[in-house]
Structure 1
Amino acid sequence: MSVRRRIAGRVQTVKLGPASKIVPKSHLCSAAIDAASPGDIIVVENHSQEDAAGWGGILSTAAAAKGLSGTIVDGPVRDVDESIDVDYPVFARTAICSTARGRIVEYAWNVPLIIGRVHVEPGDLVIADSSGVVFVPKYHEEEVVSKAEDIVAKEAAMSKAVNAGKLVSQVMGRDYEKMLLSND
């Protein structure tokens, strides 16, 4: 929704929900920002309402000042221009102008989440760019990163071949499909 670039880092989680009668101890996401380390990425589960932002400009300013790599919100965000102004990447389902006040609150942070249909744990690896978001569980990290590096190297060689004049139909033939299938 804001500054678009590739980000990767460790997950710090925040779970939001309807305000109802819950009185928050602090503003949503602020405890996670305070506890995060430089390079971490705040991941927010906000399945409760489509008319309440789970992230905003002051949070982006604080996260950028802390050296965090970005924020991913499974739900709406606001103050997109402020995030752009502080060069802080925010990935979200949509942008709206409504605040969280009176609508949603933080239920917990540093807890497991469901983002889309994916189970996400604090400390997992997350990679995001303009094409989407990928969560890698800690216990699969070494294997997934190794396979991804192999694919990147092979695709770089393929791009080099295309740039050298080789026909794309020859470059992206059966071997390419086999490579992708073997790395699922």
Structure 2
Amino acid sequence: MDELIRRLAKLDTCSVSDALDKLGLAGAVTGLSPLTVRRRVAGRTVTVKLGAPMEGAPKRHLGAGAVMAAQPGDVIVVEHRGRIDVSGWGGLLSRGAVMKGVAAVIVDGACRDVDESQELGLAVFARAAVPVTARGRVAEHGFNEPITVAGVAVRPGDLVLADGSGVVFVAADKAEAVIAAAEAIFAREQLMAADIERGRPIGEVMGADYEDMLKQKEAGR
């Protein structure tokens, strides 16, 4: 695991989303939830672009190229344009992904064979589950190329973090700045949580004076 992924894995999507907001960057997406095992996943993206069937589309099964290209710890991200009427990922692909050591799969749309992916222990994040096959309805337009997920641009090799709150993407060239900002936010919230558990009134902990005090402490490090 590279150092940036190791640091990202210690955070949560809420802290990273707040950091993206602070830096004026896009990256948090809506509507994607864990459908199988619930665990935090961080990794680098391998992308898949799906769309309507077209002449000259690759003959391989959709997603297979990304599975073959993936390295252990990677996260496969599928542009499925939010479609929930047809699957953009299935059980055999999940089986192949597990064999390659893929950490998770994220589908901007529906997937199927959720029970199989659950039994395999593969984390799958998607908009919905549906039994309808992609065969004859969807084609792969490419893999390991720039895609869009819920309006957010994602490139191969970008960073992604997914947990029970959702999914956030971090552009590779912005990763150091975003992670550093998220670490500061996360540390501040841990201090606040500790004070709440010690019995400090939540209204006081959430107040502006407390926030200013924490900022002063951070500035004096």
TM-score by length of 2: 0.77
User: Contact between 1:39 and 1:69, CA under 8 Å: does it hold in 2?
Assistant: yes
Determine if the alignment matches structure 1 residue 153 to structure 2 residue 187.
yes
Deviations 1:24-80 (A, max 9, x none): 321111111111110000000012843221101111111112111101000110011
Report the Cα offset of residue 5 of structure 1.
Answer: 1.1
* Shift in CA distance, 151/21, structure 1 to aligned 2, threshold 3 Å: same
1:173 aligns with 2:173: no
Q: Percent identity?
A: 48
Unaligned runs of 5+ in 2: 1-34, 216-221
1:130-169 CA distance string (max 9 Å, x none): 1111000011100000011111111111111111111111
CA distance in 1, matches of 2:103, 2:148: 21
Q: Matched residues in 1 for 2:212 and 2:151: separation?
A: 27
Cα offset for 1:176? Answer: 3.8
Structure 1 residue matching 2:59: 3-state secondary structure: coil
1:1-184 equivalences in 2 (<5 Å):
1-47=35-81, 49-174=83-208, 175-176=210-211
| Structure 1 unaligned spans of 5+ | none
Q: How many positions carry a matched residue from both structures? A: 180
Q: 3-state SS of the aligned residue for 2:127?
A: strand
Greater helix fraction, Structure 1 or Structure 2: 2
Q: 1:179 to 1:115 in 2, by over 3 A?
A: farther
AA partner of residue 91 (structure 2) = G
Q: Which residue is 2:26 aligned to?
A: none
Whole-angstrom distance in 2 between the partners of 1:19 and 1:155: 47
- The normalised TM-score by structure 1 is 0.92
Note the C-alpha offset of 1:20: 4.1
Q: Which amino acid aligns with 1:166?
A: R
| Aligned CA-pair RMSD | 1.9
